[in-house]
C-alpha cells in the first residue's frame, strides 16, 4: 500500500460537507478489520482508509490547514499503513471502569510483546510493538499500542489459499486466542496487495 499524500486528503470545508458519509464508510470498513481477543483486547488492523479517516479527523479537530502541519500529521500516521508484506494494528485495551482499567493495565504489563499471529501450517509471528516509542513502564502497560506483524511470502500464499489465521495473546496473566472469521480474513489479506 502506498502512503497517503496531501493530495489524498479533503480540505476542511469539503470534509465538513462529506464527513457523515465518509465516517459511515470508515466505520463499516473498520468493523471487518477489528479483531477482539476476549472482552477487553481489540486489534484494529490499519490501512489507507483507517489512516485517512484518522488524519482527516485530526485536521478537523485541530483546524489544521497549513501544508507543513498537514505534512506532520501524515508523517505521524503514514507508518501505520502496511507495506505489502506485513500487517499493522492498533492494540486497544478497553475497560470502561477507571479503577478496573488501572488494575488491568498493571496486570497486563508487557501484553504488547505477547501478541502473535498464526497462519495455519506456519510458525507464529510475534508482534513487533511500539517502534516509535515505548508505551509501558516497570509497573503498567499503556491502553494503546501499535503492532507490526511481518509475514513471509509462504505465509501470505497460504493465507490467500484459505489457511486459517489465528491471533493470540500469550502473556501468562492473559492467555487467549481467536480465529479470524471469513470477512476478517478477506479484509486483511488485501493488505498484501
Is residue 149 one of the residues assigned to a domain?
Answer: yes
For cell 507508518, what's the residue? 79
pLDDT score, position 165 = 98
| 130-147 pLDDT, tens digit each | 888 778 888 999 999 999
Is residue 69 one of the residues assigned to a domain?
Answer: yes
Model-level pTM? 0.91
CA quadruple 40, 147, 62, 101: dihedral sign: positive
Task: Give the integer Cα–Cα distance in Å for 57 and 174.
Answer: 33
Q: Which range marks the domain in which residue 121 is found?
A: 6-192
Q: State whether residue 130 is helix, strand or coil.
A: coil
Is residue 59 one of the residues assigned to a domain?
Answer: yes
Is residue 1 one of the residues assigned to a domain?
Answer: no
How many structural domains compose the chain? 1
Instruction: For residue 45, name the pLDDT band (cuts at 50, 70, 90).
Output: very high
| 66-98 pLDDT, tens digit each | 999 999 999 999 999 999 999 999 999 999 999
Task: Give the integer Cα–Cα distance in Å for 130 and 89.
Answer: 11
Is residue 68 one of the residues assigned to a domain?
Answer: yes
Is residue 146 one of the residues assigned to a domain?
Answer: yes
Amino acid at each position: 500500500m502506498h502512503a497517503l499524500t496531501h493530495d489524498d486528503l479533503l480540505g476542511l470545508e469539503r470534509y465538513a460537507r462529506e464527513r457523515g458519509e465518509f465516517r459511515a464508510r470508515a466505520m463499516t470498513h473498520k468493523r471487518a478489520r477489528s479483531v477482539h481477543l476476549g472482552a477487553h483486547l481489540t486489534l484494529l488492523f490499519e490501512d489507507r482508509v483507517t489512516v485517512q479517516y484518522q488524519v482527516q479527523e485530526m485536521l478537523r479537530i485541530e483546524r489544521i490547514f497549513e501544508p507543513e502541519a498537514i505534512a506532520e500529521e501524515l508523517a505521524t500516521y503514514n507508518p501505520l499503513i502496511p507495506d505489502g508484506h506485513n500487517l499493522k494494528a492498533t492494540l486497544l485495551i478497553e475497560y470502561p471502569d477507571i479503577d478496573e482499567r488501572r488494575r488491568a493495565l498493571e496486570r497486563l504489563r508487557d501484553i504488547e510483546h505477547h501478541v502473535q499471529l498464526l497462519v495455519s501450517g506456519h510458525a507464529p509471528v510475534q508482534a513487533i510493538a511500539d517502534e516509535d516509542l515505548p508505551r509501558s513502564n516497570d509497573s503498567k502497560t499503556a491502553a494503546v499500542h501499535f503492532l507490526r506483524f511481518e509475514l513471509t511470502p509462504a505465509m501470505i500464499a497460504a493465507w490467500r489459499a484459505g489457511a486459517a489465521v489465528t491471533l493470540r495473546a500469550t502473556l501468562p496473566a492473559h492467555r487467549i486466542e481467536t480465529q479470524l472469521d471469513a470477512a476478517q480474513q478477506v479484509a486483511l489479506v488485501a493488505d498484501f496487495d
